[in-house]
Chains A and B, each alone.
Chain A
Amino acid sequence: MSTDTIDLKTRLVADFHAREATINGEASTAFHQKKRAAIAVFDQLGFPTRKNEEWKYSNVKDLVSASYHFNAPSTLTAEDLASLNIPDQNANILYFVNGHYDADLSQIISTSDKIVISSLQQAYQKDPEMVNSYFSAVEGDSDAFTALNTAFAADGVFIHVPKGQVVEHPVILRFISDARQEHVGSQPRNIIAVGENAQVKFAEAFRTVGEQRSFTNVVTEIHMGQHAHVEYYKVQNESDQAYHVGTTEVIMLDNSHFYAATVTLNGKFVRNNLHIRINGEHCDAHMYGLYFPDGTQHVDNHTVADHLKPNSESNELYKGILRDKSKGVFNGKIFVRPDAQKTNAFQSCKNIVLSPEATMNTKPQLEIWADDVKCTHGTTTGQIDEEALFYMRSRGISRQEAMSLLMFAFCADVVSQIKIDSIREYLEGVISDKLTNK
């Protein structure tokens, strides 16, 4: 019982109860009851070990071996952010620094009849019942990190797109870890409620300032009404000392369309869970992913397409380029429940491993209880195509340049899915630098 794993856990549970003692009347609210239940779940589960099937290839030992200052205050200014080369964007932009909403850095340009954007805290103060109705509405708390986030959920964003509204300007959530002074931790909780026939594009971008460790444990819940259309992009470009566990829970109703792209450019340890419940007919859910670990980085993507109703489609493409001693993990689950006849589900994970010391673990996991379904899946892990390289070199293109062209092309079918121009262009730039510098 003396390992550091226990230490961080014990400390977090103690923190929770200490804080609980200070909130008086608030402790009896339904909102808080969910948190109390969640800390009990976390307390019982503890941080996962590799004995847990879901964490078999991702070891959090290193992550939990340090202590983090959660929600640490920060003096970060716009000038401090200059070095991050964040693109100018004609968008609603919300900054969260070490988990706190920063109104000074943020800009909201859409009008409130189109979209209601506020920090989770503000939203809760204004309308606790409504926020509570969405908060932790999906049973996802069997995961220790999600439970931990629920227990500590303090800030993040609350977005509500009213019925029928088509939001023209994307919403960009920028999460900055200010790790200049100490190891910092944050647990943002985002709730996105998109009404019937409403359309919105949004992105989560994660960055780090400073050389200390950062630990981000983020949970985003996306609730979609019928005929809703949501595009969701997650871009991780954190430091070599950044630990990130993120869970995105999506619920879809009839005739809704959901597009997700998760791009991991950098980070020490990354685990992304994307869990889509297709609880409607004639829906389509698209999941794209791209990752480029190098050094000793670790990137793990776990996805679930859970088909609960008939006549819907899910489509998934994840791609990775692994260098050095990096590790990649892909676990893609497709569930087709007994009612979900006429489901179409496609899944593909393709990887290029550039070094003999890099490893990629891929695991498609199909569980199908309906009989009239079409499911295909495939994974490939290979080296760069030497025939293609020779062909290009025989035309005068250097090996280096040929490699970049081939890898850029490899990434293109994921990058091209990103429909927010400023983000796509930013990614193209960063990716092309990444591919030519090494």
Chain B
Amino acid sequence: MLSINELRASIEGKEILKGINLEVKPGEVHAIMGPNGSGKSTLASVLAGREEYEVTAGSVAFNGVDLLELAAEERAAEGIFLAFQYPVEIPGVTTINFLKTAVNEIRKYKGENPLDAAQFLKMVREKAKLVRMNDSLLKRALNEGFSGGEKKRNEIFQMAVLEPQLAILDETDSGLDIDALRIVAEGVNSLRSPERSAIVVTHYQRLLDYIVPDYVHVLYKGRIVKSGTKELAMELEEKGYDWIKEEVEALG
């Protein structure tokens, strides 16, 4: 589904991603962990199409399409979704209106007719229930004045509505209380299917108890320096990153 090959990217002349290789097959969940500043959000942003980053080498194929050739909105329409580490506040645009526009823009891209108001509302209600998103939040300006946890929950709600093929969750767990964490995880799990995949960026093993990954990768200084299964996450939780850093330094 997603195939990243020797991907390098820089911002303001500074190379952040230094040759990433990653293969995500349909139905798989990959966790990406790693110390602060190692490039996790950069990878997520490059995949979602943030234009400030310059891709200097490598390739990304998504279902056989050259992802790097597509604009951010086209990537979304092709089925990529990024849950932001820091969701943006958009004054004056209600969540509901925003999502309706998004859903219908994607339908237009696929050559489908727009949903009418009733169909859309019905769908939105179901999804809101799934992530226990309060109705009143939907009518408010997007993320404006939302608490940290509400913003994160809103990301998962949007994901549930858009039903992406590949969801990239960038620290969606940080800032969530225990209940919210479970709800968010349930939201993600309810989307799991043999066709859908996810890349979950997190610092904590805790989330991975709920969203059990097929693979765990450690990103460090712009490279994936270690990959394993969910046991690797437990090991990291226990031992921290020093032993990995040492391994990397030893290799030069």
Which A residues are closer than 8 A to B by beta carbons?
A: 385, 387-388, 390-399, 401-402, 405-406, 408-410, 412-413
Contacts and interface: CB of A to CB of B under 8 A. Distances in A.
A129 to B, nearest CB: 50
Interface string B94-113: 00011101110110010000
Nearest to A387: B88
Q: List the 5 closest A-B pairs by CB distance, nearest first.
A: A409-B92, A396-B76, A393-B72, A391-B88, A395-B102
Nearest to A395: B102
A409 B101 CA distance: 14
A396 B77 contact: yes
A395 B158 contact: yes
Contact of B105 (A388, A401, A406, A410): A401
B93 A397 contact: no
Contacts of A395: 76, 81, 98-99, 102, 158, 162
B90 interface: yes
B82 interface: yes
Of the candidates A385, A388, A397, A410, the one having the most CB atoms from chain B within 10 angstroms of its own CB is A397
18 contacts: A388-B88, A388-B89, A390-B88, A391-B87, A392-B98, A393-B71, A394-B48, A394-B76, A395-B76, A397-B105, A399-B73, A401-B105, A402-B73, A405-B97, A406-B90, A406-B93, A409-B93, A409-B141
B88 A405 contact: no
B97 to A, nearest CB: 8
Nearest to A412: B92
B241 interface: no
B72 A390 contact: yes
Interface in B51-79: 51, 71-73, 75-77
A401 B103 CA distance: 13
Given A390-B50, A390-B72, A396 B90 contact: no
Interface in B22-71: 48-51, 71
A391 B84 contact: yes
Contact of B102 (A396, A408, A409, A412): A396
Nearest to B79: A396
A250 B97 CA distance: 39
A408 B103 CA distance: 19
B148 interface: no
B115 to A, nearest CB: 13
B240 interface: no
Contacts of B48: 394
B91 interface: yes
Interface string B150-172: 00000000100010000000000
A335 B37 CA distance: 52
A391 B49 CA distance: 10
Contact of A409 (B75, B82, B88, B91): B91
A394 B168 CA distance: 11
B102 to A, nearest CB: 4
A281 B121 CA distance: 49
Contacts of A413: 92
Contacts of B98: 392, 395, 397, 405
Contact of B90 (A388, A398, A399, A401): A388
Between B88, B97, B158, B162, the greatest number of chain A beta carbons within 10 A of the residue's beta carbon is seen for: B88
A409 B97 CA distance: 11
Given A388-B88, A393-B73, A394-B73, 8 more contacts: A387-B88, A391-B84, A394-B84, A397-B102, A405-B97, A406-B92, A408-B92, A410-B92
Contacts of A387: 88
A261 to B, nearest CB: 17
Contacts of A390: 50-51, 72, 88
B87 A399 contact: no
Contacts of B103: 396
Contacts of B49: 393-394
Contact of A396 (B50, B73, B88, B97): B73
Contacts of B81: 394-395
A392 B90 contact: yes
Q: Could you say which of B51, B73, B103 has the most chain A C-beta atoms within 10 Å of its C-beta?
A: B73
B98 to A, nearest CB: 7
A351 B178 CA distance: 42
A406 B84 CA distance: 19
Contacts of A392: 90, 98, 102
Given A397-B73, A399-B73, A405-B98, A391 B90 contact: yes
Contact of B93 (A394, A398, A405): A405
Contacts of B91: 409
A397 B101 contact: yes
A255 B162 CA distance: 52
Contacts of B51: 390
A397 B71 CA distance: 11
B83 to A, nearest CB: 10
B105 A398 contact: yes
Contacts of B84: 391, 394
Contacts of A393: 49, 71-73, 76
Contacts of A409: 90-93, 141
A418 to B, nearest CB: 16
B198 to A, nearest CB: 16
B75 to A, nearest CB: 8
A398 B92 contact: no
Contacts of B87: 391
B84 to A, nearest CB: 7
B105 A396 contact: yes
A192 B30 CA distance: 71
Contacts of B162: 395-396
Nearest to B161: A395
A238 B103 CA distance: 37
B72 A405 contact: no
